Structures are given as C-alpha cells and as structure tokens.
Amino acid sequence: MPTSTSTARPAHQVFGVKFAEHPKGTRGEYFHGSAAAPRDAVMPMDYFVWLIRTEAADIVVDVGFTPEMANRRLRTYFRRPSEALALLDVDCATVPWVVLSHFHYDHVGEVAAFPNARFVVQEREMAFWTGRFATRREFHRLVEGEDIVRLVELGLNGRLHYVDGEVELVPGVGVHLVGGHTAGTQVVSVATARGTVVLAADASHFFGNVCDDVPFAVHTDLPDTYGAFDTMHRLAGAPELIVPGHDPEVLTRFTPVDGLTGTAVRIA
C-alpha cells in the first residue's frame, strides 16, 4: 500500500450500486416489536452491491442474487450484480477479495461471477448454515440450499478465507463479526478521506435501525443485534458514515456517480 510515512492512513473509495428492489415491502415485515407499527405502511427495500476501491485492487462486498431468484421471490430486477459493478468499471474476473456479510439468498447468489476471488466469511456463519438449526423454517426461508452447497464447495476448493471475529484484510479495510441478524453476520470498516466508513449490510437494513436503535424483524440473537449497533458506532468516523444495507435513501444521502443518479453513489 502507498504510505509515505508509517502513520499515513489509507484513503480508499467506497461505492454502492443498486441492482434490484422490493417496492412493496411493509414496515411490519421489517421492524421488530412495537416499531413495526403501522404494520401495513409500504416501505420499499433496495438491493445493493458494494465496492471498496483501493490503489492495489477492487474489493467487493456481497454478490446479490440472480435474475432467476428475483423471479422466484418476486423482486424487481434491474441488472446482475456483476453488471452493476461493471458500471463502475469493475472487472469481476480480476477481483481478488469478496466479503460475504452473511449467507442469506440476497447476498451470496452470484459468487460464480468472481472466478478468481477469495471469499471472506465468518466461521460461525458457515457453521450455522451447515448445522442443526438451518432447516428450521424461520431460518431456512432466507437461504437457498444451492447457494450453501456452492459455498461449501468453494471452501473445499480453498476459495474461502475464514475469519473468526475481526481481521484487517488489507491496510484500512477490516471485517468485524457482529452476529445478531445471522449467527455470523459481519460488517466492513473502510478508512477513507471522510473518516472510517462502515458497510453495515444487514446489521442495519435501514437508517432507521442503527440510527434509532430499532432492530430489524429478522435475527438469530436480539442482544447481538443491539451489540452490532454499538460496534458500528464505535468503528465509524461519524454516525452518517454507517451505510445501511437495503435503504433506498442511500441513493439520495450520498453523492450520485456521474451519469448513474438513482443507481450508484460514491460514499467516500
């Protein structure tokens, strides 16, 4: 990494690109407990892939899902995640690192688009989805068996980079186990010129989760969900640098990429 002195902090760039949406979601589906009211209030959800651009390489966070999955789950689909990243001149075939925040269907469906990447996963996430509770309905409905099998295969082929907790992948880019939403959910911290950005993925689907201290409706562990909020506040350079994983407002709160308004933003 280009550092002129030992104290120089890397200043990476961070982008988000939308590839799909669920325009008819409701507040009741998304918020836990009393915060779910009014339950039938429409609350659109967006689906993103994230790019960390370092001087050495592009690092991708999450890989979205396929058009077939969008049909099956009635999501509005605009482009494959690899096509979304191509809008930012990313060549997925040369990406060396892909961080998978967790194994739900909307985050791990397109691993095949990254033939030369190593996938960064938390050991606890793999243990959970190959363990005894993965078949229970409230967990199983959010994953696809074929995705989990593919991840196991990648592991057997040496393509998974297992982490148990916290690690700095390259200078200025860290992954952090937070759990809560799933057993091994991880968030990503990135040193940027604006300060440390935290890509929350599903540790905070919406700004209204982490900012208002309101958990999402789906979790394996409620205290850990709150703990994830604390961790993200500790890591982030400022509260506004915590980027939720599914909030349509990401596209208006951050700076649109030239020619891609409503599709891609530069976060830092």
Minimum distance from residue 109 beta carbon to Zn ion (Å): 11
Q: Is 11 helix (H, G, I), strand (E, B) or coil?
A: coil
Measured from the CB atom, is 46 or 58 closer to Zn ion? 46
Residue with tokens 């394996």: 220
Residue type, 113: A
46 vs 202, beta carbon nearer Zn ion: 202
Residue whose CB is less far from Zn ion, 46 or 106: 106
Residues 92-151 that bind Zn ion (CB under 5 A): 106
- Closest distance between Zn ion and the C-beta of residue 110, in Å? 14
Q: Does 224 bind Zn ion (CB under 5 A)?
A: no
Cis, peptide link before residue 38, omega less than 30° from 0: yes
Shortest reach from residue 246's CB to Zn ion, in Å: 6
Which region, judged by CB under 5 A, interacts with Zn ion, from 21-29, 196-204, 235-243, 248-256? 196-204
Residue type, 96: P
- CA nearest 87: which of 77, 78, 74, 100? 78
Whose CA is closest to 205, among 225, 235, 231, 190? 225
By CB under 5 A, how many residues form the interface with Zn ion? 2
Please, which residue, 70 or 191, has the CB nearer to Zn ion?
70
The piece of 77-85, 113-121, 143-151, 194-202 that touches Zn ion (CB under 5 A) is 194-202
Burial class (CB in 10 A: 0-12, 13-18, 19+), 132: exposed
CB of residue 107 vs Zn ion: minimum separation in angstroms?
Answer: 6
Q: How far is the CB of 4 from Zn ion (least distance, A)?
A: 39
| Rounded Cα gap, residues 57 and 128, in angstroms | 31
Report the residue number, 44 or 195, with the smaller CB distance to Zn ion. Answer: 44
Residue 30 DSSP one-character state: H
In angstroms, the CA 124 to CA 136 distance is 17
Q: Give me the residues that bind Zn ion (CB under 5 A), please.
A: 106, 202
